[in-house]
Amino acid sequence: MRHPTPGASLHLTQHINSIVINAGDGTHEHPTQAILDMTSLQEKFGYLKGLKVGIIGDISHSRVALSNIHGLKTMGAEVTLCGPSTLIPPFAEDLGVSVNYNVDEVIEWADALNVLRIQRERMGGGLLPSVREYRNLFGITTERLSMHKKEIVIMHPGPMNRGVEIDSSVADSDQAIILDQVLNGVASRMAILYLLLGGKQEEGNS
Amino acid sequence: MKTTKLKKQVVLKGGMILDPINETLKKGDVLIENGRMKSIGEVTPSKSADVIDCSGLIVTHGFCDIHVHFREPGREDKETLDSGSMAALAGGFTRVCVMPNTDPPLDSPESIRYTIDRGEECPIHIHPIGAITKSQDGKELTEMGAMLSEGAVAFSDDGLPVTDTGMMRNALEYATMFDVPIINHAEDLCLKKDGVMHEGKISTQLGLPASPGITESNMVHRDLELTELTGARLHVPHVSSAKSADYIRQMKKSNNKITAEVTPHHLFFTDEDLITYNTDLKVAPPIRTQADQKALIKGVKDGTFDCIATDHAPHTIEEKEGTFDLAPFGMIGLESCFGAVNRVLVKENKLNIIRLIQMLSVNPRKIMGFETDLFTNGNPAELTIFDPNKKWTFKKSDIYSRSHNSPYIGEALIGRIRATIVKGHITALV
């Protein structure tokens, strides 16, 4: 079930006996996205424990971020959040992650970056002044990456705003595993549907 | 629950009499004759008298709740003055003040008169609080003078803060002529935005839009300063944050025109209880952290808060069973009030029971200018009888409100109302 309201899937489980798979509930969580992201990282690196992952962008309004944080922390990875301070929840550090507003420092530190979509409706209001300002401070551009000697793995949950939070030249480069994420998305969700809905699963909700 | 007319002579026999004015708690009998207080002490009942055994129970002043929403007129599907009265009786309340955010709001002398007339027909005493501004839109003052003549006891745009500081000043200035309390729901709406709960670790985990404690305390501070400026009487409702309590405590030292209330739910619950997205815990101002809860309990103990008020706010099951963002703010609270505050304050935090009863009876009456000396011979009997030690689990069947939006269902409470006497009748809870 995908729903615009945080808590909607949990709410449904309290009223029906079926298994409910949360396919994203508002600004709360997106567990299957976290599973496919972690699958993709596991394939790429061969391990998650100790892996350093930076999550870049609008954390406050992202269900991908929260599920990634819970999943990665559970698997022993380290997580740093990076984005405009107006788009990082004030109590983010209580989730066991670091916060750093300097994207270059995060790139230096991280093994992989999960770049989140910046929605255009956030621009020009009280949260973000402009696309230009965002790109200058947080955009994952070829120029920015070329300033760092290391090669870093780039992820994005899609859909991408090419030219806003990420350049096409980065998204389509060899260091991006975005298409692996898409492929793993299909496989992960097939597996989740099979295990929870189709097989000899014991009773229970998820 | 059963309501019967008081016999000519009624003797409440063998209970502990708690006098919140003289601060005494001692064994004794109460004689009620023709619905009026006759004597307190040792009473030898006449043959025809109705003798009610009160051994093991406390007999005291009827409780008074100065902050309830009875939804009449306009949302009688949620509550009426009659059904709200039954909820009050079940909670030991003999007198309530109803907030004006009805549909239409109580913003005219005529609507105040309507509520007074309807209240006459109800089994408890009902006093309307008038709106500060017409249509509660914060723009034009209501006819406070005429509304007071018709029976309004205070003014509030409750539910809606008076956001315009100039208008709030005017309201306070104007009210000084009548020496009535102005009650402002303090939440800075610019800071609150679409916040539905307290901003903290829990809201971050739940992914819900939230507002921090200063959303309230900023406006409380503004109102306190305006009270200094105008010399008006200010009553701060449903205080939820530690900082608001600090500001009130500080300002009360030099200004005796300030009073404040705290709700049972801000004392009983913390934001961690919202972890299951229980919409019955969605209230405004929101339930905050354990640190805030502790600060509120401290505020009760040191006298920062004058009274307990429930902010009884009924909503339909259809509205409350929706998702968290769409559910309206508010919970009912009359029936569960005593068992909740007695547990938290008296049993868990060692507050003297006399202090608690003062906060439920004499103090709220003082704020609203009601008769407080209920034990005086000749006054109409307005009493509450309760078992201070009864442990019980609050159930849906304990609710008499027309709505059932209570997060106390399933909670263990201590202390239970046994009977409420008011308007010549006794209502006994079985």
pLDDT digits (tens, 9 = 90+) for B297-309: 999 999 999 999 9
What value, to the nearest 5°, has the Cα angle with vertex A122 and ends A121 and A126?
125
Residue of A nearest to B320 (CA): A11
Q: Looking at residue B248, what is its pLDDT?
A: 98
Contacting residues of A for B203, CB less than 8 Å apart: 89, 91
Judged against a pLDDT cut of 60, whether residue B173 lies above it is answered with yes
| B311 carries an active-site annotation | yes
Judged against a pLDDT cut of 60, whether residue B55 lies above it is answered with yes
The mean per-residue pLDDT over the stretch B21-42 comes to 96
The mean per-residue pLDDT over the stretch A25-49 comes to 97
Do residue B201 and residue A25 have CB atoms under 8 angstroms apart?
no
Give the separation between CA B303 and CA B260, rounded to whole angstroms.
10
Assign A198 a pLDDT band (cuts: 50, 70, 90). Answer: confident
Tell me if chain A has a CB within 8 Å of the CB of B354. no
- Structure tokens, B307: 């009274």
Give the separation between CA B72 and CA B104, rounded to whole angstroms.
9
The mean per-residue pLDDT over the stretch A135-158 comes to 95
Residue of B nearest to A12 (CA): B323
Q: Looking at residue B322, what is its pLDDT?
A: 87
Quick one: DSSP state of residue B410? T
Instruction: Name B37's bridge partners.
Output: B32
Tell me if chain A has a CB within 8 Å of the CB of B139. no
Test the B interface: residue of A1, A3, A11, A64 with most B CBs within 10 Å: A11
Do residue A91 and residue B203 have CB atoms under 8 angstroms apart?
yes
Residues of A with CB under 8 A from a CB of B: 3, 5-8, 10-11, 25-29, 63, 66, 89-92, 94-95
Computed over every residue of chain B, the mean pLDDT equals 97
Smallest CA–CA separation between A35 and chain B, in Å?
18
Q: Looking at residue A200, what is its pLDDT?
A: 62
Specify the 3-state DSSP secondary structure of B16.
strand
Do residue B205 and residue A66 have CB atoms under 8 angstroms apart?
yes
Distances (CA, A) of A125 to A119, A138, B77, B194: 12, 18, 40, 15
- Identify which of B181, B183, B144 has the alpha carbon closest to the alpha carbon of residue B162: B183
Smallest CA–CA separation between A151 and chain B, in Å?
32
> Is B405 within 8 Å of B391 (Cβ atoms)?
no
Give residues 183 to 202 of B whose Cβ lies within 8 Å of A: 199-201
Instruction: Name B24's bridge partners.
Output: B19
Q: What is the pLDDT of residues B138-147, one digit of tens each?
A: 999 999 999 9
Out of A126-135, B235-244, B354-363, least confident range? A126-135
Test the A interface: residue of B190, B192, B206, B282 with most A CBs within 10 Å: B206
- Structure tokens, B430: 């079985």
pLDDT exceeding 90 applies to what percent of chain A? 85
Smallest CA–CA separation between A110 and chain B, in Å?
24
Give the separation between CA A103 and CA A1, rounded to whole angstroms.
34
Give the separation between CA B364 and CA B125, rounded to whole angstroms.
14
- Identify which of B4, B63, B60, B1 has the alpha carbon closest to the alpha carbon of residue B312: B63
Give the separation between CA B3 and CA A205, rounded to whole angstroms.
47
Judged against a pLDDT cut of 60, whether residue A202 lies above it is answered with no
- Which residue is catalytic, options B271, B306, B311, B398? B311
> Is B208 within 8 Å of B197 (Cβ atoms)?
yes
Assign A197 a pLDDT band (cuts: 50, 70, 90). Answer: confident
The mean per-residue pLDDT over the stretch B194-203 comes to 97
Q: What pTM, to 2 d.p., does this model score?
A: 0.93
Contacting residues of B for A66, CB less than 8 Å apart: 205, 207
Q: Looking at residue A126, what is its pLDDT?
A: 84
- Identify which of B334, B348, B356 has the alpha carbon closest to the alpha carbon of residue B429: B334
Assign A204 a pLDDT band (cuts: 50, 70, 90). Answer: low
What value, to the nearest 5°, has the Cα angle with vertex A127 and ends A125 and A130?
65
For B55-209, list the strands marked E by DSSP.
58-61, 63-68, 93-98, 125-128, 155-156, 181-183, 197-198
Q: Looking at residue A206, what is its pLDDT?
A: 47
The mean per-residue pLDDT over the stretch B276-294 comes to 98
